């Protein structure tokens, strides 16, 4: 990766140290059953630059991801939410707020909010619900929003949920499709014992439209045929790899270190790092720039690829299931969204 000198501060936003303890008390995930490998995608041509770019992952050829077939993002979100509630014995009637976030856009459901659908389907009859739109970086801002509502005393128990149908939202002739996958994740937030839960977070952003985003345009929405469609597609600008990756390599380490500093911790104190799983090469560079061994990074890229907003909750569930995250561990989260939106959060795991 290019080590070009960049200013890692997108804005002058400060890291926040919450005064009220709010933690994650349940976590769930759902991924669709159909699995794809890179060889299943038709007619993708890689330039030499892209081959070198993807070649930073030694397992790239065997990487898998899941694809949603006849399942919407909101249907998968319901399944992830129910997984969290059932696994941790949470009564849906005890939830008073449901927050939904996603980067993929469905023109058939621009309104009402998908959060309303999830709330109703899971039986959260005493809850309010609304969407939070922060693009690719929606997860951590939604989590910190939910924690803020609890800390204020407005709500007691918040469900944060996401669902992503990324593959059908990509032009499947573009090489970026080869590191995308579909899935959904959910967590429950509530008050916890002092010293646990969300210890710090940092959010920063700056407009940079020519990097990536979502726009209504034409492309090949189906991974295995030539059907041209016009709909909202995720895009990455062709020159973005060479131009923007050097900056992206710096943003997340900077944000995580800002969050750690306000609680007088360093990266050496962190037990596990969970990133947004953009692709293997970035995970490795982020760990190097944080000066941590890669064994401390929980990597799900080979199993699920990048699921945008769903990557962190799915990776978190996977890490807990594998006992890589245990009660009392210090967890650092970092994620990014195009154009740019960067987030980090530090949690002391309490379940």
Phi, psi at 285, each rounded to 5°: -65, -40
Phi, psi at 262, each rounded to 5°: -70, -15
> What pLDDT is attached to residue 215?
81
Token look-up 């989590």 returns 143
Whole-model pTM: value is 0.94
Average confidence score pLDDT of the chain:
92
H or E stretch covering 284? helix 280-289
The answer to whether residues 15 and 184 touch, using CB atoms and an 8 Å cutoff, is no
H or E stretch covering 303? helix 301-304
Give the least confident one: 22-31, 60-69, 182-191, 312-321: 60-69
Residue 43 scores a pLDDT above 50: yes
- How many whole angstroms separate alpha carbon 78 and alpha carbon 120? 9
Residue 3 scores a pLDDT above 90: no
Q: What is the mean pLDDT of residues 266-276?
A: 97
Token look-up 């991801």 returns 65
Beta strands at 228-236 and 330-337: parallel, antiparallel or unpaired: unpaired
> What pLDDT is attached to residue 191?
98
* C-alpha pair distances (Å), 67 with each of 136, 165, 168: 18, 7, 8
Q: What is the pLDDT of residues 72-85, one digit of tens each?
A: 999 999 999 999 99
- How many whole angstroms separate alpha carbon 45 and alpha carbon 47? 7
Residue 17 scores a pLDDT above 80: yes
Residue 57 scores a pLDDT above 90: no
Tell me the percentage of the chain whose pLDDT exceeds 70: 98
Q: What is the mean pLDDT of residues 44-58?
A: 77
Beta strands at 97-101 and 330-337: parallel, antiparallel or unpaired: unpaired
Helix (H, G, I), strand (E, B) or coil at 254: helix
The residue ranking higher by pLDDT, 83 or 44, is 83
Confidence band, pLDDT 50/70/90 cuts, at residue 4: low
> What pLDDT is attached to residue 155?
98
The residue ranking higher by pLDDT, 339 or 99, is 99
Identify the top-confidence range among 29-38, 52-61, 253-262: 253-262
Confidence band, pLDDT 50/70/90 cuts, at residue 209: low
Which domains does the chain possess? 22-197 (3.40.47.10)
Residue 1 scores a pLDDT above 70: no
């Amino acid at each position: 990766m290019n080590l070009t000198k960049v200013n890692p501060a997108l804005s002058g936003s400060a890291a926040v140290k919450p005064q009220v303890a709010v933690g994650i008390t349940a976590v769930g995930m759902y991924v669709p059953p159909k699995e794809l490998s890179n060889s299943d995608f038709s007619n993708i041509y890689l330039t030499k630059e892209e081959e070198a770019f993807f070649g930073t992952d030694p397992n790239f050829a065997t990487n898998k991801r899941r694809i949603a077939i006849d399942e919407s993002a909101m249907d998968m979100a319901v399944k992830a939410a129910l997984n969290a509630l059932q696994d941790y014995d949470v009564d849906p009637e005890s939830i008073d707020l449901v927050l939904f976030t996603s980067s993929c856009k469905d023109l058939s459901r621009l309104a009402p909010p998908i959060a309303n659908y999830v709330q109703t389907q899971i039986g959260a009859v005493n809850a309010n619900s609304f969407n939070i739109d922060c693009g690719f970086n929606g997860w951590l801002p939604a989590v910190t929003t939910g924690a803020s509502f609890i800390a204020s005393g407005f709500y007691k128990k918040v469900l944060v949920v996401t669902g992503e149908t990324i593959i059908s939202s990509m032009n499947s002739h573009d090489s970026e499709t080869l590191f995308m996958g579909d899935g959904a994740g959910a967590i429950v937030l509530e008050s916890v014992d002092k010293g646990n839960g969300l210890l710090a977070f940092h959010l920063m952003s700056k407009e940079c439209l020519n990097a990536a985003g979502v726009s209504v345009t034409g492309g090949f929405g189906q991974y295995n045929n030539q059907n041209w469609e016009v709909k909202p597609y995720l895009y990455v600008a062709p020159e973005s790899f060479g131009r923007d990756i050097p900056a992206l390599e710096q943003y997340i380490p900077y944000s995580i270190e800002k969050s750690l500093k306000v609680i007088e911790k360093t990266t050496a104190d962190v037990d596990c790092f969970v990133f947004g799983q953009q692709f293997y090469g970035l995970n490795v560079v982020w760990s190097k720039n944080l000066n941590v061994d890669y064994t401390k990074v929980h990597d799900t890229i080979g199993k699920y690829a990048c699921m945008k907003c769903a990557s962190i909750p799915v990776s978190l569930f996977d890490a807990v299931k594998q006992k890589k995250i245990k009660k009392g561990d210090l967890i650092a989260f970092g994620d990014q969204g195009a154009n740019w939106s960067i987030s980090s959060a530090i949690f002391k795991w309490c379940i």
